Structure 1
């Protein structure tokens, strides 16, 4: 067995839905912790107060820029992690926190939030509100193989992660206009409706099997773009789908 990697879950301004998705992996998550990774940081799971050195940091939530501790925490996470993963739409794009404006009884000064990519360099996006448990599990496995696997495994892991890395390089904003240009107009839309379901302001509807967006309602939170399974459609993965699926199954045995 190769050396385990060190992973951590950094929780910022989010609803904990992404952590629930991690836990929903059940025995798969236990298998990863048994054989492939040590969980070295997690506010709800591990009694560690400060960000340690990590191979992979799963960051949930956006950053409240009025909260100096949160700003320092995300910068410390980047400094001490080999790979930073934006976990969920709030971390990737800001999601509904893009139009949060305080109002909390205990901390009314907390009113401005940014996706983590506006403050640090991010390596991988795992989009979704929340992301599927399987996607989180697979990215964790591929991160392990990329760092500790043999050459063939590293090649497959790189191909699997490439579209999610491309999402991270693309930026921290997205809109229905981007979805129209990159997906719908390219003939990639399958009318699954996930863009409409993910929109926090109900700016997207399905009409005659095609998404329609109201630009005057769009807040450019990126939820629809990150949730769309075709927004990170990539021809590097498709030819290797069977090999990647077999690799994941072998790791989880």
Structure 2
């Protein structure tokens, strides 16, 4: 009974920590979006996407409003988008996107994680060429009910659609980096509700490892993701279940 209670308590704490991390990430997205394009989502596509992402992680409206207010406060320290590159264990390339108000702190933290968990922090451009930057719009399958995906593909090609990937629960629409900002409104015109939209970095190739080696890589990735400044971690590890 005691162990079960402790397990549930630990699971709840982990969920809360994950929620706090998601809220922090969205808050910084809102901050950067407002600094770049103003506080009116009707005229700021990036802010509109950030607000939509807030809904996707169940961020309360009061928290969203507070984040917008903080972002428009002239006294608030401005966050900057920064990136880091390096290699994890077994030659896995890793690209990190972060938002920071203290770059020295963030650099030290990232370098420490690489060093402690079997990786090596690289210089700018050392692994960037191994990734393609794409826009990703995730739509839940129930929000596509009654729509033909092949027809949607034809309709959206002129709007910058790169490709569509579908699984049991979601469909992802990918665009080029340049078409990212304008693609969301095109989906809105078609009555498609986007559950999440973000810029991602897709590896041009991946590397397969043994189960034991995969665990070593994930230890580093998890430690990087735990950093409050880190927004996203991309890698070239092939973590599919087939062919191991």
Q: TM-score, normalised by structure 2?
A: 0.28
Which is strand-richer, 1 or 2? Answer: 2
Name which structure has the greater RCO, CA cutoff 8 Å, separation 6+. 2
Which is helix-richer, 1 or 2? Answer: 2
Indicate the structure (1 or 2) with the bigger Cα radius of gyration: 2
Q: TM-score, normalised by structure 1?
A: 0.28
